[in-house]
Amino acid sequence: MGQRTPLYDLHLALGAKMVDFGGWDMPLHYGSQVEEHHQVRQACGVFDVSHMTVIDVRGAQAGVWLQHVLANDVDRLNATGKALYSTMLNEQGGVIDDMIVYRCDDGYRLVVNASTRDKDLAWLQARMIGFEVELSERPELAILAIQGPQAREKVAELVTAARAALIRELKPFEGLADGDWFIARTGYTGEDGLEIIFPALQAPAFFNDLVGAGIAPSGLGARDTLRLEAGMNLYGQDIDEAHTPLTSNLGWSIAWEPAERDFIGRKGLLKEIEHGVEQKLVGLVLEERGVLRAHQVVRVAGIGEGEITSGSFSPTLSKSIALARVPMATADRAEVEIRGKWYPVRVVKPTFVRHGKILI
């Protein structure tokens, strides 16, 4: 038996198919993964993401410390509520984890992946020496992600007037507190929406309110196809400690300035640049029948080989798509081996769908 979120019994009552995900018993779908996917693209759906880890960072040197341990620049968070995406790197520049960082009144809040919890906490704690900083994990909190073009308005109709006003005023990549609720406008689907971090004891009743208002309960299956269409990386597949942000379409998340900021992994990244970055993460589209899957071999004529990191059928495109790490010289065509046969694929920018629009 795996770990369970506060909504486990409710998932069962709603008919969810439960699966193991990083040691957690989580809903894969509630009947139709494809229908849940379309609901989020066209209206909205709610995901239980309470398995993710919330870490609050406080102390006189919280910002200075985060400047050291993260690749992005938390000094950009120059006001309460602002958020940014960052990776956390090892000395060689490999990705230990990726996360969202929020600026709060009394410090910062990190939301990190569930499967990396123990590794992340141990790594962070080992690097606190010499810094006036405190870490507080918040296991008493639940997280719901309500995603889709109708998400903010539908949620605003269910909460207090103050929270509704906050939701309507919230800017993209911003998160603010109202009492014991923390409401953010970030996401992992390529659609607009909210993440609500709040006391776990309140989660079942509010989840019921959301479902009762016609917001579709949605599982990990739809979450994966939505994020893949949006070109968002999944830790452990598209990013890991063996690969740097430079080979993972995440160069934009590295803050090189100020030049004197010596974040962990900087030297490793500069060494990779000096030697020449050899791979890049691209999108693939299979124009024929078939399904692209992780670990299938990608062949680029006259250049070399790569590998699919994530692949699936895209409900929005009605085609199979993938993210793949391929040689840097790869242009617009390649081939993928599927069950011993080679199929032509189109190489595209690794963002297929955003805000309901097809981009390829």
How far apart (Å, rounded) are the C-alpha atoms in residues 211 and 191?
Answer: 19
CA separation for the pair 164, 229 (Å, rounded): 30
Dist. CA 352–CA 320, nearest whole Å: 11
Nearest Cα residue to 323 out of 220, 239, 218, 219 = 239
Structural tokens at position 199: 């006391």
Contact assessment for residue 266 and residue 273, using Cβ atoms and an 8 Å cutoff: no
Q: Which helix (H) or strand (E) holds 205?
A: helix 203-212
Dist. CA 46–CA 40, nearest whole Å: 8
| 260 annotated ligand binder | no
Other beta carbons within 10 angstroms of residue 208's beta carbon come to 14
Residues 6+ apart with CB under 8 A from 84: 72, 73, 74, 76, 77, 100, 101, 173
**Residues 123 and 96 sit within 8 Å (Cβ to Cβ):** yes
Preceding peptide of 245 cis, ω within 30°? no
Of 156, 230, 158, 153, nearest in space to 187 by CA: 230
- The CA distance from 7 to 207, in Å, is 8
Q: Which residues are annotated as a binding site for substrate?
A: 195
Q: Which residues are annotated as a binding site?
A: 195
